Amino acid sequence: MKKLLMIAAATTFMVSGFAATTAVAGDYTKKCKACHKTDKNAVGPSFKNIQAAYGDAATLASVWESGFKVEDRKIAGNPCNPNYGKYHKKAKTMTGQYKKLIAGGVKKGKITYKELADMVFSK
């Protein structure tokens, strides 16, 4: 019985931790939605275009983790991308938002790059 209670307590802790992480990531993507829409380009490229450009969440997370240099960006840093012209001009603005929202949240321990990238890819 004691073993069963320990397993139940551990499972509850893990599930509640996941729910809290998902809620935090969801909060961050709400902030992202000020400029990024799900299916259409707006101030920033759509989540669907971001998904197409990066291919998977791990690749997007690694670009964020490496500092989100413009030349590493698959849309604003890639002249072959059809949306390059529009978003390359806005790269400075996105760098500021990256530092404030994404890197800042990671530095404070609120979220990881991978968690946020997973949320972008779930849209």
Distance between CA atoms of residues 11 and 4, nearest Å? 11
- Per-residue confidence (pLDDT) for residue 32, from 0 to 100: 87
Distance between CA atoms of residues 9 and 62, nearest Å? 34
pLDDT at 23 > cutoff 60:
no
Distance between CA atoms of residues 36 and 121, nearest Å? 13
Q: What is the pTM assigned to this prediction? A: 0.77
- Per-residue confidence (pLDDT) for residue 17, from 0 to 100: 45
Report the pLDDT averaged over residues 9-19.
Answer: 44
Distance between CA atoms of residues 103 and 109, nearest Å? 10
